[in-house]
Amino acid sequence: MANYYNIDDILMEEEPITSIFQVRANGVGLLDPGSESNCVEAGAKVDLPLWLAHELHLRQAVAIGVPPCFSQRTRKEVQADAACVDLRSRCPYFYELGCKIFPLVGDKSIGPFLLYTFTSRYKEILSKSHSAPVSTSPKYLPRLTQEETQLFKAAQWSIASFRKWRVGGSRLEKASILGRKRKPAAAQLPPAG
Amino acid sequence: MVSTAAGATSSGAGLEGEEGESIWGEDDASIAETTDVELLKRAWRNEKAAPEILLFEAGLVQRAREQIQLLEETVEDFVENGTDDLIVSLYQMDLDRSLFLLRSYLRVRLQKIEKYMFHISRTDLWNRLSEQEKKFSKRCVNAMEKHLEQSVLSRLPYGYQSILKQSISSEEDDMVPEPKLDTFVFCKSKGAVGAFQLDDVGDEIVDLVSDDLYVLRYKSIKGLVEGGRIDLV
Amino acid sequence: MYGRTASQLLRELDIADSDNLQAFNSDTCDQVIAECENHHLMLQSLIRKLEGEQLDIQTARNEDHFGAVTHHLSLLRNKRCLMAYMYNRAEVIRSLRWKVGAKLPEEIQEKLSFSEKEYFKNHSAAIESSMSELDLDLTVDMVPPKDPYIQVRVLDDIGDNLSLGDHSFSLTKNSVHSVRRTDAEQYISQGLMEEFFA
């Protein structure tokens, strides 16, 4: 797994997937809040995180459903006005989840839907990131998925760097990890090396 | 044509003097770009843009260091002899630029080694490192192993303590981060490469014209980069 | 839910983004380690049960098998979260050697675990020995140079009679000096000087 340590990939796999147990499983009662014994019965309908649902699905222990963020209703909303839809509240990892889930649920229409959604929202993301003053982004940003937010920030950073380059001025800066208002101790050692 | 000379550079300890110059030397228009500073700039750009570590340019780095030392001595002489300040600072700027290139080139490589230490030490990429980089890589791996070992791995149940395998039932090393070779890079070729196949099956063919800028997947032009036929920007 | 606590560790990293470091969360780490132990106990007891019934662990597809599989997967998941937490923090810690220098300010030190401090030391030593072999300081010249000399304003009393390059300076607060860029770079990234434009 080349992205074993990837934070986004790990968090994306935390997304809940509605799963129906095809078998009984012992000693895992915690999975099913409705279970009275310490096991999950066949036929129980449980929301499992993707990492677990995926592996159990491969072993034919559960059947998984299409997440609601790819439902017909969401699709209609996106088709009406893609840029306005609050995708983050539906799924912060909308695109990554879509790519991961479609081979599992065998729904080929998810792929084109993802592409359509992305291309229709892309322009707005770029133009907002380049033009909008910081004050308007609090309204816009929370609607974007994690992937889109990264794109937005990258675009913002690139335009900021471009402006800075055009104006000139200092390029040497304090390391951003050090707090803004740091009061250094009076006697600091000189830098090594 | 550039293509014939280029293949020779993929083996051995890097670009030797004559070999390195012969690549572009055959192209009359680019005589100006055969200086070591230009070659270093090119190696630096490639290294910065490529997702994986490239072959260490041993000969080139050696020559660049010699030239930097020469420049330093020249500047010192100038200062001692009371040469015009403007001339001194011009030389100094030239020196600073070369030093920056060299430092940045070496730094980018060390930081790539930091990032992919496990992958590099377990694959052919190992042979692309200089001796000193190999030492660095080993120390990186040791420090990281020790840290992860004592913070997490030693506290996990038996069978789950490997730093390479998720558990003893993993068939391969499924924990090693690798560079993303299918990432997109900007690239430009000096000479015309001609029709070039981007994928395995031959569905995508692009005609690489000299001096045009392309955005392509690194994976598909990896060979051209390694062979020195195309530059990343 | 299994693995939920462990994922909190990564949410922490996610909020902090790559330029920031939160205090090491040893409580949650300990909790996850304990969870791993529990999964392992459950896993073993289910395996013992299968063995008691003379069933093969790999092929017996009964309720005990699927219970065991779930605990095994949960253990892997918890391991992944713990490892990713340490690994991604280690990346930030490594970058400190390049950005801040060999000595970390107190405000950062206190956010690190014991092992992380040790890691910083060991990794710094690797970078330093590499640079001394090269006989070249790679932590300066982080941005392409323009002028060899720059004007800087000192933001705090750094010290009297400090030598920067060939000259010595009295680096008192608010004093302005013209120094070699490479000599000032680390002071600037530590927040002790700033570039000064008259």
Share of chain C above pLDDT 90, in %: 53
pLDDT of amino acid B33: 59
pLDDT of amino acid A133: 62
Q: Average pLDDT of chain B?
A: 85
Q: Which residue, among B97, B151, B170, would best test binding to C if mutated, counting the most C CBs under 10 Å from its CB?
A: B151
Instruction: Give the separation between CA C178 and CA C181, rounded to whole angstroms.
Output: 9
Instruction: Kindly identify which residue of chain B lies nearest to residue C115, measuring between CA atoms.
Output: B147
> Do the chains contact at B176 and A4, CB–CB below 8 Å?
yes
Helix A94-105 vs helix A146-167: crossing angle, to nearest 10: 150
> Do the chains contact at A4 and B178, CB–CB below 8 Å?
no
Contact (Cβ atoms closer than 8 angstroms) between residue B119 and residue B176:
yes
Kindly list the domain boundaries of chain A, sorted by start residue.
Answer: 1-65, 67-132+139-160
Nearest CB neighbour to C126, from listed B143, B151, B152: B143
Kindly list the domain boundaries of chain B, sorted by start residue.
Answer: 3-116
Contacts 24+ apart (CB under 8 A), A102-110: A104/A54, A104/A57, A104/A64, A105/A64, A105/A65, A105/A66, A107/A66, A107/A70, A110/A66, A110/A70
Q: Which residues of C touch B160 (CB under 8 A)?
A: 36, 40, 75-76, 79
Backbone angles phi, psi at B142, to 5 degrees: -60, -45
> Do the chains contact at B180 and A1, CB–CB below 8 Å?
no
Instruction: Give the separation between CA B179 and CA B51, rounded to whole angstroms.
Output: 6
Q: Which residues of C touch A22 (CB under 8 A)?
A: none
Helix (H, G, I), strand (E, B) or coil at C176: strand
Confidence of residue C18 (pLDDT cuts 50, 70, 90): low
Per-residue pLDDT tens over the stretch C127-172? 999 999 999 999 888 888 777 788 889 988 888 777 776 678 888 8
User: Cβ–Cβ contacts within 10 Å for residue C196, how many?
Assistant: 14
Distance from CA of A4 to the nearest CA of B (A): 6
- Assigned fold of B3-116: Methane Monooxygenase Hydroxylase; Chain G, domain 1 (1.20.58)
Instruction: Kindly identify which residue of chain C lies nearest to residue A1, measuring between CA atoms.
Output: C80
Contact (Cβ atoms closer than 8 angstroms) between residue A8 and residue A93:
yes
In DSSP notation, C5-74 reads HHHHHHHHHHHH-TT--PPP-HHHHHHHHHHHHHHHHHHHHHHHHHHHTT--TTT--SHHHHHHHHHHHH
Instruction: Give the separation between CA C119 and CA C116, rounded to whole angstroms.
Output: 5
Q: Average pLDDT of chain C?
A: 89
- Taking only the tens of pLDDT, chain B with its 233 residues reads 333 333 333 333 333 333 334 444 444 445 555 788 899 999 999 999 999 999 999 999 999 999 999 999 999 999 888 888 888 888 888 898 999 999 999 999 999 999 999 999 999 999 999 999 999 999 999 999 999 999 999 999 999 999 999 999 899 999 999 999 999 999 998 888 888 888 777 778 888 888 889 999 999 999 999 998 899 99
pLDDT of amino acid C34: 96
Distance from CA of B9 to the nearest CA of C (A): 24
pLDDT of amino acid C198: 66
Nearest CB neighbour to A171, from listed C102, C143, C157: C143
pLDDT of amino acid B6: 35
Give the dihedral of Cα atoms B229, B230, B232, B233; nearest 10 deg. Answer: 120
Look at the block and give the residue holding tokens 């690798």.
Answer: B178
Class of the CATH domain delimited by A1-65 = mainly alpha
Give the dihedral of Cα atoms C134, C138, C140, C141; nearest 10 deg. Answer: 100
CA atoms within 13 A on the CB side of B130: 18
> Do the chains contact at A39 and C156, CB–CB below 8 Å?
no
Q: Which residues of B touch C98 (CB under 8 A)?
A: 107, 111
> Do the chains contact at A191 and C187, CB–CB below 8 Å?
yes
Q: Which residue, among C22, C49, C63, would best test binding to A if mutated, counting the most A CBs under 10 Å from its CB?
A: C63
> Do the chains contact at B135 and C130, CB–CB below 8 Å?
yes
Per-residue pLDDT tens over the stretch C180-197? 888 888 888 888 888 887
Q: Which residues of B touch A13 (CB under 8 A)?
A: none
Instruction: Give the separation between CA B186 and CA B46, rounded to whole angstroms.
Output: 10
pLDDT of amino acid C69: 93
Confidence of residue C66 (pLDDT cuts 50, 70, 90): very high
Q: How far is CA B64 from the centre of its chain?
A: 15
> Do the chains contact at C148 and B96, CB–CB below 8 Å?
yes
β-sheet bridge partners, residue C169: C162
Q: What share of chain B is helix, strand, coil (3-state, %, to 5)?
A: 60, 10, 35
Instruction: Give the separation between CA C8 and CA C28, rounded to whole angstroms.
Output: 8
Instruction: Kindly identify which residue of chain B lies nearest to residue C76, measuring between CA atoms.
Output: B166
pLDDT of amino acid A84: 84
Instruction: Give the separation between CA C67 and CA B154, rounded to whole angstroms.
Output: 25
Size of interface B-C (CB pairs under 8 A): 109
pLDDT of amino acid B22: 42
Q: Does C102 touch chain A (CB under 8 A)?
A: yes
Distance from CA of B69 to the nearest CA of C (A): 12
Residue ranges in chain A modelled with pLDDT below 70: 132-138, 169-170, 179-193
Per-residue pLDDT tens over the stretch B183-227? 999 999 888 888 888 877 777 888 888 888 999 999 999 999 999
CATH number of A67-132+139-160: 1.20.58.2050
Instruction: Give the DSSP H/E element, type plus range, for residue B71.
Output: helix B58-81
CATH number of C4-134: 1.20.58.1030
Contact (Cβ atoms closer than 8 angstroms) between residue C158 and residue C171:
yes
Q: Does C128 touch chain A (CB under 8 A)?
A: yes
Residues 119-178 of B with CB under 8 A from A: 174-178
Q: In the numeric block, which tokens belong to residue C58?
A: 């790999």
Q: Does B183 touch chain C (CB under 8 A)?
A: no
- Measure Cα distances from C83 to A78, A146, B162, C2 in Å: 38, 22, 11, 17
Look at the block and give the residue holding tokens 């980089």.
Answer: B133
Instruction: Kindly identify which residue of chain B lies nearest to residue A1, measuring between CA atoms.
Output: B174
